[in-house]
Amino acid sequence: MKRILNIVSLLSILALFVMLTGINTTAQDRGSFEKVPDISLCIHGIEKSQNITIGIEDIEKFHGSTGPGVALGYRACQIALSQLYPNDIPLWGDQFVISGSIRPCPVDAISYITGARYGKGSSGILNGNLAFDKSVGEFCFIFARISDGKAIKLTKTFQFPKNFYELRSKLKEKKTSFEKKKRCYERFQSLAIEILNAKGDDIFEVTTLPDFSWKNYKENYLK
């Protein structure tokens, strides 16, 4: 797991580097987000509960940009919460999440929305309610309600263009020019808009996991 954390840290540094080098990764057309529904959550406070809404713009400000990974993380939460809490406003912090992708983009969106943080058995902000498991599949996720164990798996059905991974690798190469990196990000932004506005079935296939045990999984994960 130390290797996973190191990779996540390096990717986070890369994202910060891109922001600081002046590439405009947040110059989205605001109209492109207008039809993207916000996510409503309930936060239990010491004295009273409070309902809040989180929009894709909030995730963009938190992460620094909105690319395909962030968009997939946002849609994963949107879809999973609607399935796990069909008649209620989801309780913030009641979700255990397994991410098949160790990339920070989808995880930043998921952590911000659900409050699940990687930390194994830690307490506090690193609450141990987020796990990384490549066997789940890249950009695929498992969401479970901590309160009653109800769980679902989201398997990515959205198809990236053939040159997606080539574009992503160019962003990591030092020899890639500023202009090429900028074009790559512009392409990623258009993909993010497509993901955010597509039908749920075109992004993820949802499968109920009746035998999933959050307790057993976490116990094995902590070993």
What pLDDT shows up at residue 6? 45
Q: 160 vs 38, which has greater pLDDT?
A: 38
Q: 113 vs 64, which has greater pLDDT?
A: 113
Q: 18 vs 133, which has greater pLDDT?
A: 133
Are the C-beta atoms of 127 and 119 separated by less than 8 Å?
yes
What pLDDT shows up at residue 207? 98
Residue 126 has pLDDT above 80, yes or no: yes
For the segment 113-132, the average pLDDT, to the nearest whole number, is 87
Q: Give me the domains of the chain, ranges plus CATH numbers.
A: 2-221 (3.30.1330.130)
Inter-residue long-range contacts of 78-83, CB under 8 Å, 24+ positions, other chains counted: 78/37, 78/39, 78/200, 79/154, 79/200, 79/203, 79/204, 79/206, 80/141, 80/143, 80/152, 80/154, 80/206, 81/39, 81/41, 81/143, 83/152, 83/206
What pLDDT shows up at residue 34? 76
For the segment 160-189, the average pLDDT, to the nearest whole number, is 80
The winner for highest mean pLDDT among 10-19, 43-52, 186-195, 202-211 is 202-211
Residue 19 has pLDDT above 70, yes or no: no
Crossing angle of helices 104-114 and 68-84, in 10° steps, is 40
Q: 119 vs 96, which has greater pLDDT?
A: 96
Confidence band of 17 (pLDDT split at 50, 70, 90): very low
Q: 84 vs 180, which has greater pLDDT?
A: 84
Average pLDDT taken over every residue of the chain: 83
